[in-house]
Amino acid sequence: MHEWDYIIVGAGSAGSVLAARLTEHSDVSVLLIEAGGRDLPPAVAVPAAWPTLSGSAADWADVTTTQVTSGVSEPMPHGRGLGGSSAINAMVFTRGHRTSYDAWQLPGWTFADMLPYFRRSETTAGRDPRLRGTDGPLTVGPAARPHPLFADGLTAALEAGHPFADDPSSGVREGFGWTDLTVALGHRQTVADAYLRPVLGRPNLTVETNATVYALTIDNGRCTGVAFVRDGRPHTVTAGTEVILAAGAIGTPHLLHLSGIGPAAELEQAGITPLVDAPGVGQNLQDHPVSGVLYRAARSVPPGDGNHAEITGLVQSPAATRPDLQLLFVDLPLRGAGLPGPDAGEGYALQVALMAPHSRGTVRTVSADPLTRPVIDPRYNTDGRDVAALVAGLEIARDIGESAALRPWRGREVLPGPDGDLRASALRNIRSYHHYAGTCRIGDVLDLELRVRGVDALRVIDASVLPAIVSGNTNAPVVGIAERAADLITGSRKEVVGGPSVGR
């Protein structure tokens, strides 16, 4: 075959959902194209091994520019292979607070609109079935064997006056509690494991791996297909209905730029002929920057079999109007690049993640050569409001860290240090949470049904569509967005050809 109804670029979280949902209908043919491989490193399956996957064969291994506020560049891992970033992330499955979605003020994209799709994606136990799913593809829940540090950490947060959240992953709770993880029977469950691999035998689904898409084919304003390279040979394939980009907040704008869709002046500087002047493509890059309080432990921190961060807390900084800080207890001494601290097993951290950043960055394409990686500049902490919120979060973390419940674990504070400057630490002890979003946002680059403005038969469905990043880890939102997008796509098809719509 050289023509399919739908071509999906990227077999990460969104692409896996879309391929599975669209091919539920036998009259629909789908080609799913993935740059990475079908088989992933063995460490992918081991929950505690996720820190080793950065820079592996399952990672694009991008880096940022040198950040003006920290003076260092940050690794920007994002997934390559079936499952995408769900194969290398830390497996936290939380939606973010409902106010994140409602703040977009976009019809059809409120938290209430998204809730049926969140529920459709998951199977949970012991959660409120009005809020949580009970028969979806992803099996999610708290760690089966909680780490003792985290049990004491939760007690410490409650001692410090924070509320207990019985379901911090639901999107309607503030406070601290046991977060849900995409771990099933002791092994990581990627979105591809849950959605895609069970349906690989469908005759209407074709999956091409180790195939790198380098251009969209556009004819008279319509996207008609894609061009890709596999084993050094170029191929061109055609989509009879639509092309769907699900390559992530870095890969999707880069591919649009290479295809002539983006800021015209920047494309010309890169040697690319502009076809559609779309200034918003590659703008509005957001991430959750992470700082924290680091402790040398008073006793050995035992290795856990979970994801190293089983407790989360969602709180509000003094200047915020909605929850904007996530705190995590981490059984590793995580810190910014080049900063001193204990080795694994000798320390732990209370991480502070800014969940509603005001700073905005860019993904820029600087060459027409597809092998030249884009230039990624998140511009962390360039808006002073972000620094103030992180400082407030560090104060909260330090207050919890000094509680009686953590006394058996607490040695001494290494970062910022007892006399350390919190503002300086928020600027220097900074890491990426690897939650890239916003570079093809709804309401600017895309319409309300995720169609690219200025090009027919082309949609974007991944984290790049978020107008503003949500106050939670981004995997669950992307899965929910893809579930809703499958309904939008099938509804459009029904209007055109009378086919059935996706439903359960």
Count how many residues are written for the chain: 504
Q: CA-CA distance, 474 to 459, in Å (whole number)?
A: 20
Q: Which phi and psi angles does 486 have, rounded to 5°?
A: -60, -40
Place of tokens 């002047």: 277
Where are the extended beta strands (E) located within 41-87? 62-63, 75-76
Sole residue written with tokens 């900074």: 430
Q: How many CB atoms lie within 10 A of CB 154?
A: 23
Contacts of 124 (CB under 8 A, 6+ apart): 132, 133, 134, 140, 141, 180
Is residue 97 within 8 A of residue 322, CB to CB? The reply is: yes
Burial bucket for residue 161 (CB in 10 Å: 0-12, 13-18, 19+): exposed
Q: How do 222-230 and 138-139 pair as beta strands? A: unpaired
> What is the rounded distance in angstroms from the CA atom of residue 13 to the CA atom of residue 477?
10
Q: Return the axis-axis angle of helices 384-401 and 148-159, rounded to nearest 10°.
A: 100
Contact 253, 440 (CB under 8 A): yes
Catalytic residue IDs: 435
